[in-house]
Structure 1
């Protein structure tokens, strides 16, 4: 990789590629952006901090050659790397390094004729500590006091639950449940008073975000409570978790992520589309770790949007929703996506595929031969068997509820049922899934190697370009193994995959 950048850095990252990031009114950059681009690629590839990156540039001849520095050059201040990355993240093309590498991939023709794409996601841990309800409330109130004009005076007059100038946590007996309840009630009351007392005025982006965040954290974890004598007006920790819950006021986009029912991480999801034969990343995207809009199935079409032709799509059960299948099938793609397993109401008993569902007629027939009609809206149809289950000899294999079996039909039921039948009976489908789905796991391992499971930055604006740069650093490594070279201004490969 060092030798490749030393020889082809100028062709890969020409000066005009970064012209919009350095307008002429700001003067010439103190360090050519091509040098910084090469340094950022190597930094991301090796998982180094800005300080360590500059240290390598000062001491390692490989880094000097790759970035175009002379033997006696002392590199530059680490802040230049920070400024370059910030300019890149906030530019109109924050993923231009990834796009430049993708142009090289297209020029080599390595993906020509390879019409398979494996989709997957992986959790990347956030760069901040998860905060509890008390810590979030105090941090959000402090943020409003700092960033909203006049908020500090309002807080001094009405916020009495805690000394918000004190950097520590409130001094209470934390093992006393009643003391914790009193503190939570007082902090929520302070937040409501502060929001209600803020002067009416136009707010800039930072101040508006601070006010919105305080309103959010003040209500997401609490609910109204009543005193023993029936008086209300108090607040308590709610016995539930709201969807898309904010877990830190430092990084408000970080989320609790459940990859399995028992395993939870805090952070973001990296979504990937990989060509499984070569292991090349074709598309990557970083999104908050939870929320329907950021689910794997919701992003599948976006990951394949830039494909010129229909492809064969490989994915696990996270991509098996009816809506996702309908969208990808309508686009002409052939799906090799593992169906989500059905869970029978009785262990070992009948599941949904044991019922004959006629979506055209709107009826369902159970294994015992009883028929019922669907009712309800298009999204959530249900058929209730009720008394038909009384005395049925197959009831013990079907349902334990005393009111009988209820069958629910979701949109695109026929598409889902056909997919389950194909996965269970089609030997070619099974062989293809076993052959081409696992390589994406290797790509995920490459992405998270060298300590890159934990993100270094806050928010998607900074971390999404980092993910693209990481993929842009890994793709050339794969191409170099295939003999990537540049001859007469043309990118070529000297070897082919067997």
Structure 2
């Protein structure tokens, strides 16, 4: 398909007349077109299409359809039916009332083009540019970030189901590719065990019998792999995707001991960041956060907050479920800086805050990263009677550290650790052993300290002091409002369940979700609908005032 860019054009007069009559008070789609104008132009997506071929349906309009689809939680078929039948959709798209729309498969093809060129950000930016032009978005101010887990579109599998389905998927892919070869090497029992889905079988409850089935599946998969990689296999079988998935799963889950195939011990399996959990979504990973266990991904949402304008999502990042929150902070700030959307204050929870991030955010971007710094994990801090690092006086120029007993260090060494430098400080045994306060200082023969660079060390000390102050805690309360954004994404757009398979498609889903939430919030702002207060049950309203908790208060904006 090719694309010939054209302007948005005027809305046909008959469409305007019928829409005004049918929606005298307007609707989200109609108000969006009236207040923000055409949100997307064909030229924004011109590079996604070749210069020759059959003309494609307007990509600018398709982008708007994708956003409206997520605003209302529609499937592809429902979205295309809305374009064909709904007057407000035709008004927003600038279509004639008799326009037949397009086939639902066009939406998936357009999403594939967005994914291939990593162009999903353009859809989110289209809403933000319109908001900026309307005066609803400016740089600076405050922003907040939080993450939530995202379940894979595939069903969670137990171990026996996972290895059985991996083998079955490989057999089903090889069957049309090399039918005669596969029929020749297949064991007759394979047709008994791997023709139907593993979920249709009932695995025994006894541990010994389950282990026996696991060994049988391991031996069957090993036999298939040996045949595929053997000299008599047809060419090209090794490159089949399902075969490669089978090979990876078998390397991760099985090994051979004295010629027998057995399951690897837990300590002998790869870490969660590389371990496959399903053959149908090879980029999903298993993770745990407190009491939540899930297979899939993680999404990080950054939104503006604290002003009179609507809170708009300015950054969306999707990662696999094993990526730590603090790894995203530099990337978020860099991206916001490139798009001129950096806040002055960035409110985050403790998972995003490291001592290094506080310093680099202020130094590189002029951003005050506001979030609690965790206390020291040493026993001296936990006991409340010992001497933590903060009890030592540091002379940075002379590289001298004075302990509470008045002694100075004998060693000061700078050691590079990953992407930072740590300073190792050590005191003399001769000074520590006779010290009268040794029991409150160290349990070893001498005290050793690990401290950061001066700017990092002082930033942490300052933050730990600040966060004990009531004014800082009141300022930090604004961060809690991002939980409402996650809730809105979950209930309105299905944020917590991936619609598609793979990290790239899930990432596009989340960018479209961010664009949809922004459009809904802009519409609510233009229609003068204030954010709803936090729901409080009738019984909770009877709670005495001295027992009030955050759930009975209005959520912060």
Specify if TM > 0.5: yes
Give CA deviations for 1:158-202 in whole Å, capped at 9, x if unaligned.
Answer: 879854642243978622322322333343344445445434898
Structure 1 length-normalised TM: 0.77
User: What is residue 315 of structure 1 aligned with on the other side?
Assistant: 348
Instruction: Tell whether the 8 Å contact from 1:339 to 1:416 is kept in structure 2 after alignment.
Output: no
In 2: Cα distance, 1:236 partner to 1:393 partner: 56
User: What is residue 343 of structure 1 aligned with on the other side?
Assistant: 377
In 2: Cα distance, 1:251 partner to 1:385 partner: 53
Instruction: Give SS of 1:335's match.
Output: strand
Q: How does 1:366-381 map to 2 (within 5 A)?
A: 373=411, 377-379=415-417
In 1: Cα distance, 2:446 partner to 2:291 partner: 29
70-79 vs 120-129, which moves further: 70-79
User: What is residue 80 of structure 1 aligned with on the other side?
Assistant: 106
Q: Does 1:167 align with 2:196?
A: yes
Q: Does 1:474 align with 2:517?
A: yes
Q: 1:404 to 1:102 in 2, by over 3 A?
A: farther
User: What is residue 441 of structure 1 aligned with on the other side?
Assistant: 483
In 2: Cα distance, 1:129 partner to 1:203 partner: 30
Which of 434, 458, 465 pairs up with 2:508? 465
Structure with max Cα Rg = 2
Give CA deviations for 1:39-60 in whole Å, capped at 9, x if unaligned.
Answer: 2211101222223334444554
434-443 vs 267-276, which moves further: 434-443
In the TM superposition, residue 305 of structure 1 has moved relative to its aligned partner by 3.9
Q: 1:300 to 1:9 in 2, by over 3 A?
A: closer
Q: Does 1:248 align with 2:278?
A: yes
Q: 1:234 to 1:312 in 2, by over 3 A?
A: same
Instruction: Tell whether the 8 Å contact from 1:322 to 1:413 is kept in structure 2 after alignment.
Output: no
Give CA deviations for 1:260-308 in whole Å, capped at 9, x if unaligned.
Answer: 3222233211122211134111111212111369944464444434254
Q: 1:357 to 1:271 in 2, by over 3 A?
A: farther
212-221 vs 127-136, which moves further: 212-221
Which of 242, 260, 271 pairs up with 1:210? 242
Q: How does 1:258-269 map to 2 (within 5 A)?
A: 258=288, 260-269=289-298
In 2: Cα distance, 1:390 partner to 1:177 partner: 55
Give CA deviations for 1:115-160 in whole Å, capped at 9, x if unaligned.
Answer: 3332222222221112233333233334444556669847963879
Aligned residues: 475
In the TM superposition, residue 443 of structure 1 has moved relative to its aligned partner by 2.5
Instruction: Tell whether the 8 Å contact from 1:455 to 1:463 is kept in structure 2 after alignment.
Output: yes
Instruction: Tell whether the 8 Å contact from 1:102 to 1:282 is kept in structure 2 after alignment.
Output: yes
User: What is residue 415 of structure 1 aligned with on the other side?
Assistant: 456
User: What is residue 137 of structure 2 aligned with on the other side?
Assistant: 111
In the TM superposition, residue 452 of structure 1 has moved relative to its aligned partner by 3.3
Q: How does 1:92-491 map to 2 (within 5 A)?
A: 93-112=119-138, 114-147=140-173, 153=181, 157=185, 162-163=190-191, 165-169=194-198, 174-199=204-229, 207=239, 209-222=241-254, 233-240=260-267, 242-244=271-273, 245-258=275-288, 260-276=289-305, 277=307, 278=309, 279-291=311-323, 295-297=327-329, 299-308=331-340, 311-333=344-366, 334-345=368-379, 347-349=382-384, 350=386, 352-354=388-390, 356=392, 373=411, 377-379=415-417, 409=450, 412=453, 415=456, 418-425=459-466, 427=469, 430=472, 433-450=475-492, 451-483=494-526
Instruction: Tell whether the 8 Å contact from 1:145 to 1:155 is kept in structure 2 after alignment.
Output: no
Instruction: Tell whether the 8 Å contact from 2:141 to 2:343 is kept in structure 1 after alignment.
Output: yes
Instruction: Give SS of 2:299's match.
Output: strand
Structure 1 stretches of 5 or more lacking a match?
226-230, 485-497
Instruction: Tell whether the 8 Å contact from 1:89 to 1:461 is kept in structure 2 after alignment.
Output: yes
In 2: Cα distance, 1:22 partner to 1:355 partner: 64
Q: Does 1:2 align with 2:45?
A: no
Q: 1:375 to 1:218 in 2, by over 3 A?
A: farther
In 2: Cα distance, 1:150 partner to 1:389 partner: 75
Q: How does 1:50-69 map to 2 (within 5 A)?
A: 50-57=76-83, 60-69=86-95
Structure 2 length-normalised TM: 0.70
Q: 1:429 to 1:373 in 2, by over 3 A?
A: farther
User: What is residue 554 of structure 2 aligned with on the other side?
Assistant: none
In 1: Cα distance, 2:241 partner to 2:395 partner: 47
In the TM superposition, residue 394 of structure 1 has moved relative to its aligned partner by 5.9
In the TM superposition, residue 238 of structure 1 has moved relative to its aligned partner by 2.1
Structure 2 stretches of 5 or more lacking a match?
1-27, 528-556
Q: 1:409 to 1:481 in 2, by over 3 A?
A: same
